A and B are shown apart, each in its own frame.
Chain A
Amino acid sequence: MNSETATVKQVAFEKDDVGNFSFPESHKFDAGYGLTKDTVDYISKVKDEPAWVNEFRHKALKTFESKPMPTNWATRDLENIDFDAIRYYLSDGAKPKRSWDEVPPEVLETFDRLGVPEQERAFLAGVEAQYDSEAAYSNVKEALADEGVIFVTCSEGLKEHEEIFRPWFGKVIPTGDNKFSALNSAVMSGGSFIYIPPGVKVKHPLQAYFRINSENFGQFERTLIIADEGSEVMYMEGCTAPKFETATLHSAVVELVAMKGAKIQYITVQNWSSNVFNLVTKRGLAHEDAEIRWIDCNIGSRLTMKYPGVVMKGERARGEVISIALANDGQHQDTGAKMIHAANNTTSNVISKSISVGEGRSTYRGQVHIPKHLKGCKNNTECDALLINTNSRTDTYPAISVKGNQHVTQHEASVSQVSQEMLFYMQQRGISEAAAMSLAVNGFINDLVSEFPMEYSVELKRLIELEMEGSVG
């Protein structure tokens, strides 16, 4: 698209449509189109990586090439991804700045518009801001650094903290877990590495913002969070991209490790434009008495496939997935959860609410696994779908495999519609049809929205209102 002008390219930019703008590209490093061994070597070279990482990438590339698309169970829309029409690495250099003053002006303006520096000042303990393939900015509050908290990009993590990083890297989600985890492992760039020392409880959230600016591009961030014994951390991620004519690929791998008694909350608010294929693998490993919660809000994208999981490896570990998905016209949210019970007295909870608007389609896929030799495991799964229009669609595929008789599981699912009667009632009180619809949708997800930190729940409600505009009439 290489725009010749030096101004911001705004595609039908409106004041509320915060994510839909882009700047002309000026990348120093561009791996070019398509994915070969050379691409992998190019990335390793730009990032000046140790040999073991380069080997890891090459192995992953082979795995990626050997694995078929999972269209035996997933949508055939995956076949529309043209891997040769994507650029796998675009950056101005691999080293993030520690001060916003040093960030290039157009990148700074991008994150300013998205409100990132403002949020950092207001309530965050640390921020990483990724622009295409690399973080432009990464910083953590000094007080936390003094306590031994590490919050750096993944590239920095694997080089500078290899002794902590390497034992867990690729262990929660092996390269060959699925085709897209293999793809990520081959071309990963950006993402966060976080280490919280034993007993340290980080009060304020750490945040990463993933921004795609370029067309025909794939973003493959890789995140590893390790919370050592008894520590606590909340990590937030936000994502946006401009609306391009062509497909954009976002394929992340996120691994969480909660050691004994640690707590990790991982919160996502994604608002991808409707050309993005968002194929993400997220899983956490919870040791004894540890707790991992995924709080996930998926708005936008052409196709999202994401099933955050928790492997409860230690006794009394807890896993939770709370997810909200909104599928508008031309969008398919294929989301869910995986709960793998691997120790006695482990507890998991899945609450999923999806909203299908217009011709949008939402799919819930859940997997709960409790093997026969365990006892005292509990799972609760609730999935509720709300259909806004008569042509909206939802599907539910729960798979609960519970062996043995010493466990408690319950599963509830519902599909509802915003009834004409409800709309008439609200309108009779003077509320416009669009506002009434928006109110009904916010009511549907209200109990889940309250799980998000206040700053994000406000944003979330606003995003949903925007999505609901034009859905009626």
Chain B
Amino acid sequence: MSLTIENLHASVDGNEILKGLNLEIPAGEVHAIIGPNGSGKSTLSKIIAGHDDYEVSEGRVLLDGVDIAKLAVDERSRAGIFLAFQYPAEVPGVSNANFLRAALQARLPEGEEIDAVAFYKGMYAKMDELEMNRKFTSRSVNEGFSGGEKKRNEILQMIMLDPRYCLLDETDSGLDIDALKVVAKGVNSMRSENRGFLVITHYQRLLDYIKPDHVHVMADGQIVKSGGAELALKLEESGYDFLKTA
């Protein structure tokens, strides 16, 4: 069981952003990608999620062995891929509760309805863990949210949708240390042998709280170096300069 990326080439408006990227995230492991701005980290997560701004010219993404090239964004989601956005979109007029409910409803067979009581009970329990105010459920999705509220909301959705593979795109950006701890706690609570994580980050800081099993350095559309958790620490000390000499 794994999320596997094989020789992925992708471009937007004719500019190649991924240039033959290989990565395997087995279920049960947390992989981190770090790299300088513009290395293609965020693009990778959007391509895995199926964003149609990007054209995949070569290579493939396998979800537990199945090529997902033909699946639409929502189908990939229901197949088990979750992307926690760096900048989650606002959906005016749609409450967080209704939004989550629609997302869960989309996973049920036709004709089956969500049990509203169980839904709210489950959501409230998770919100308590993430230290979220109950009033949050009736607010519009991400509208007027602080950076920290948006990220907590992403993690709440991730927990509620119970995905197979979680992609976290710069989840630490815009978080103070307390919020970061809460978010990391939420992510850590989801770690299991059935679930894989890809944590994309610019800073080591997040990895102090979400301990990765493997760290990959991305530069210019490729993975240029892989190692254990210590690799991130080394980078934090010496910066990305070694890439130039490596």
Chain A residues proximal to chain B, CB less than 8 Å: 419-422, 424-433, 435-436, 439-440, 442-447
Contacts and interface: CB of A to CB of B under 8 A. Distances in A.
Contacts of B222: none
Contacts of B88: 425
Nearest to B158: A429
A426 B93 CA distance: 14
Interface in B84-117: 85, 88-94, 98-99, 102-103, 106-107
A433 B92 contact: no
Nearest to A434: B74
Contacts of A419: 89
A427 B93 contact: no
A430 B94 contact: no
A422 B90 contact: yes
Contacts of B98: 439
B102 A444 contact: no
A430 B92 contact: no
A443 B94 CA distance: 5
Interface in B39-93: 49, 51, 53, 72-74, 77-78, 82-83, 85, 88-93
Given A424-B73, A443-B94, A443-B140, A431 B89 contact: no
Given A425-B85, A428-B49, A429-B77, A439 B91 contact: yes
B157 interface: yes
B161 interface: yes
A431 B91 CA distance: 13
Nearest to A416: B92
Contacts of A440: 91, 94
A445 B94 CA distance: 10
A203 B90 CA distance: 39
Interface in B199-233: none
Instruction: Select the residue from B49, B77, B93, B98 with max chain A CB neighbours within 10 A.
Output: B93
B93 A444 contact: yes
A422 B91 contact: yes
Contacts of B92: 443-444
Instruction: Select the residue from A419, A420, A428, A443 with max chain B CB neighbours within 10 A.
Output: A428
B140 A439 contact: no
Given A427-B72, A443-B93, A445-B93, A435 B77 contact: no
A432 B140 contact: no
Contacts of A435: 102, 106
A425 B73 CA distance: 9
B103 A431 contact: yes
Contacts of A442: 93-94
B78 A430 contact: yes
A426 B83 CA distance: 11
A443 B91 contact: yes
A430 B77 contact: yes
- 9 closest Cβ contacts across the A-B interface? A443-B93, A446-B93, A425-B89, A443-B94, A430-B77, A427-B73, A429-B103, A427-B74, A430-B106
